[in-house]
Chain A
Amino acid sequence: MNFRVISGKIDLRALRDAVGDFENGACVIFEGLVRNHNEGREVLRLEYEVYEPLAVSEGEAILGEAERRFGPLKAACVHRDGLLELGEAAVVVAVSSAHRDESFRACRYIIDEVKHRLPIWKKEHYADGEANWVNCQRCAAHAAG
């Protein structure tokens, strides 16, 4: 399994080692971090909800697509579930390939697809005590608390 959902901190070194290969001279790692602001509001922490069965199968499918499009390469991705504090990595993508171009392109493809397709939701908790589900146009009135 190269795509995983975990609730503890992501081990960056382990992920890098997972895509390590003497044939590959390039490794690109993308980290998505918890930021302290969004759309003008001060964010204190994020809360993720993941539907793991489908997140994992879709995540594996995305890694497979990246390999078919840009491979040969090795790719792995870990996404967090639960409550995250500022500065923590919510998602990490690691890709290695013989040369750098394929790794950069595959890494970009994977993170973009992960954001658009996986059944993962995040709720922002703000400094003023409110909380909102991100990307949900009509949710603001209901998500307080």
Chain B
Amino acid sequence: MMQVRVRYFAVFREVTGVETEVVDTGASSARELFSQMADRHADLHFEAAALVAVNDVMADWETALSEGDEVLFFPPVAGG
């Protein structure tokens, strides 16, 4: 088990009602962590175009996590 900080943005923050939370997890990847958080927050659903960043660097959903990481969950972006 390790401890990571999770941050939610835009609609993810609205549906969880949480901006940031510290969680204990055994997740082997960002994808698995998202899945665990979706179990915790009933209205949080994975979106095919969702993006993830770890420690302020864009990552991919298979990225392995480490103790103390800050994981940012981005819903589908819509700039411009």
Contact = CB atoms under 8 A, between A and B. Distances in A.
The binding surface of chain A is classed by DSSP as mixed
Contacts of B75: 121, 133, 135-136, 139
A82 to B, nearest CB: 13
B65 interface: no
B76 A135 contact: yes
Nearest to B76: A135
Contacts of A58: 58
Contacts of A91: 79-80
Contact of A133 (B10, B51, B53): B10
A98 to B, nearest CB: 27
A118 B58 CA distance: 10
Interface residues of A, number: 32
A137 B48 CA distance: 9
Contact of B80 (A32, A53, A142): A32
B53 A121 contact: no
A91 B15 CA distance: 27
B43 interface: yes
A9 B50 CA distance: 29
A138 interface: yes
Interface stretch (A20-28, A64-72, A99-107, A109-117): A109-117
| Residue from the set B9, B43, B74, B78 with the largest chain A CB neighbour count within 10 Å | B78
Interface of A: 32, 48-49, 51, 53-55, 57-58, 79, 90-91, 111, 114-123, 133-139, 142-143
Given A114-B79, A121-B11, 7 more contacts: A49-B9, A118-B77, A121-B9, A136-B10, A136-B75, A139-B75, A143-B14
